Structure 1
Amino acid sequence: MEATRNEALEAWMDEHGYKSNSLAEAVNRALEQLTGRAGGLDGSSVRDWKAGRVKWPKSATRKALEAVTGLPATALGFVPRGRTLSAPAALQEDPGMKRRTLVAGIAAAAAAPGTSTRHIGMSDVERLQRRFAEVIASDHRYGGQVGIEQRAAALADEALNLQNAGSATQRVRSNLYACAASFRSSAMWAAIDGRRYSDAKTHMREAQALAEMSGDQAIKFRIWSHAGAMYRHIGRPGEAFAANDVARNLHITRRDPMFASLGLARQAAIHGAAQERAGTRRAFDQAQDALQRADPYDYRPVWLLAFYDEAELHSLALSAHLALGDYATAEFHAHRCLSTLRPHMRRSHAITTTRLAHAQLAQGDLEAATVTAMQVPADAATQHARVSRMLQEFGAALRARAPRSSTAQTWTEHTRDAWKATV
Structure 2
Amino acid sequence: MASSRAVPNHAFRQLRGRRSPGEFAAAVRRAAREIDEQVACDARYIGRVEAGEIRCPNYAYERVFLHMFPGRTLTDLGFSAREQVRGRAARSTGAEAAAGTGAEVAPVPAPQAPAPPTTHHGDTGEESDVLRRAFMKSGPATVAIVTLGLGGTPAMASAVPVPRRVGAAEVSAVEETVRRIRLLDDRHGADGLYQRASRPLRAAYALLDAGTATRRSTADRLHAGAGELSISVGWLAHDSGRFDDARSHYAEALATARLAGDPALEAHAFCNTSFLAKDAGRYREAVRAAQAGRRAGRRLSSSRLLSLLALREAGGWAGLGDRTGCEQALSLAHGLFDRGPSDADPEWMSFFGEPELEALEAHCHATLGDWARAARHAYRATVLQDPHFARNLALYRADLATDLARAGSHDEAAAAGHQVLDALGDVQSSRIHARIAATVRLLLPQRRLPEVGAFLDRHASTDPRR
Q: TM-score, normalised by structure 2?
A: 0.61
Cα distance per residue 1:58-105 (max 9 Å; x no partner) = xxxxxxxxxxxxxxxxxxxxxxxxxxxxxxxxxxxxxxxxxxxxxxxx
**Equivalent residues in 2 for 1:218-237, closer than 5 Å:** 218-237=264-283
Equivalent residue, structure 2, for 1:160? 205
State how 1:25-40 maps to structure 2 within 5 Å: none
Amino acid at match of 2:331: D
Match of 1:298 in 2: 343
Q: Which amino acid aligns with 1:153?
A: S
Moved over 6 A (4+): none
- Say whether 1:389 aligns with 2:434: yes
Q: 2:221 aligns with which of 175, 179, 196?
A: 175
Contact 2:174/2:229 (<8 A) preserved: no
Task: Return the alpha-carbon distance in structure 1 between the equivalents of residues 376 and 328 of structure 2.
Answer: 17
Corresponding position of 2:395 = 351
> Partner residue of 1:266?
312
Question: Which among 210, 224, 238 is matched to residue 192 of structure 1?
Answer: 238
CA distance in 2: counterparts of 1:201 and 1:255, whole angstroms = 27
CA distance in 1, matches of 2:408, 2:213: 65
CA gap 1:288/1:334 in 2 versus in 1, 3 angstroms: same
Residue 131 of structure 1 and its aligned partner are, at CA, apart by: 1.9
Contact 1:118 1:165 in 2 (8 A): no
Greater Cα shift, 158-167 or 284-293: 158-167
Q: In structure 1, what is the Cα distance between the partners aligned to 2:435 and 2:198?
A: 27
What 5-or-longer segments of structure 1 have no aligned partner? 1-114
Give the CA RMSD over aligned residues.
2.6
Q: Does 1:289 align with 2:335?
A: yes
Tell me what 2:254 maps to: 208
Contact 1:357 / 1:373 at 8 angstroms: preserved in 2?
A: yes
Change (3 A) 1:253 1:344: farther
Which of 339, 349, 368 is the matching residue for 1:324?
368
Look up the match of 2:39: none
- Give, as a single letter, the amino acid of the residue that structure 1 aligns with 2:409: D
Code of the aligned partner of 1:154:
R
Q: 1:143 to 1:421 in 2, by over 3 A?
A: closer
Moved more, 223-232 or 198-207: 198-207
2:310–2:329 contact (8 Å) kept in structure 1: yes
- Counterpart residue number, 1:10: none
Q: Is the 8 A contact 2:305 2:345 kept in 1?
A: no
Contact 1:247–1:263 (8 Å) recurs in 2: yes
C-alpha displacement of 1:328: 1.8
Q: Partner amino acid for 1:120?
A: V
Q: Find out whether 1:279 has 2:325 as its counterpart.
A: yes
In the alignment, which residue of structure 2 is the partner of 1:242?
A: 288
Secondary structure in 1 aligned to 2:420?
Answer: coil
CA distance in 1 between partners of 2:443 and 2:198 (Å): 39
User: 2: CA distance between counterparts of 1:197 and 1:288?
Assistant: 29
Match of 2:186 in 1: 140
Alpha-carbon shift at residue 388 of structure 1 (Å): 0.9
- Is the alpha carbon distance of 1:266 and 1:298 closer, same or farther for their aligned partners in structure 2, counting shifts above 3 Å? same
Q: Which residue does the alignment assign to 1:21?
A: none
* Matching residue of 1:398: 443
* Equivalent-residue separation in structure 1 for 2:326 and 2:178 (angstroms): 33
AA aligned opposite 1:352: Y
* Alignment partners' CA distance in 1, 2:271 and 2:213: 33
Q: Is the 8 A contact 2:251 2:269 kept in 1?
A: no
Structure 1 segment 355-366 matched on structure 2, within 5 A: 355-366=399-410
CA-to-aligned-CA distance 1:169-227 (integer Å, 9 cap, x gap): 12211221211111111111111111111111221232222222232211111111111
Alpha carbons of structure 1 residues 192 and 251: separation in structure 2 relative to 1, 3 Å: closer
Distance (Å, rounded) in 1 between the aligned partners of 2:463 and 2:177: 34
CA distance in 2, matches of 1:354, 1:421: 16
- TM-score normalised to the size of structure 1? 0.66
Q: Using the alignment, how far apart are the partners of 2:352 and 2:190 within structure 1?
A: 18
Distance in 2 separating the partners of 1:165 and 1:250: 26
Correspondence for 1:217:
263
Partners of 2:264 and 2:297 within 8 A in 1: no
In the alignment of these two chains, the number of paired residues is 305
Gaps of 5+ in 2: 1-160
1:261-317 alpha-carbon deviations (Å, 9 max, x no partner): 1111111222222222222222112111111214x341433211x211111111100
1:254 Cα shift?
5.9
- Out of 347, 355, 370, the residue aligned to residue 311 of structure 1 is 355
Kindly tell me: are residues 167 and 131 of structure 1, through their superposed partners in 2, closer, same or farther at Cα, counting changes over 3 Å?
closer
Distance of aligned partners of 1:232 and 1:172 in 2 relative to their CA distance in 1, 3 Å threshold: same
What is the alpha-carbon distance in structure 2 between the residues aligned to residue 420 and residue 254 of structure 1?
Answer: 45
CA deviation map 1:222-276 (0-9, x unaligned): 1111111111011111111121121111144663211111111111222222222
Rounded to whole Å, the distance in 2 between the matches of 1:319 and 1:117 is 46
C-alpha spacing 1:253/1:380, structure 2 compared with 1 (3 Å): farther
Deviation at 1:151, TM superposition (A): 3.7
Q: CA deviation at 1:121?
A: 2.4
Q: Residues 237 and 273 of structure 1 are in contact (CA less than 8 Å); yes or no, is this contact kept in structure 2?
A: yes
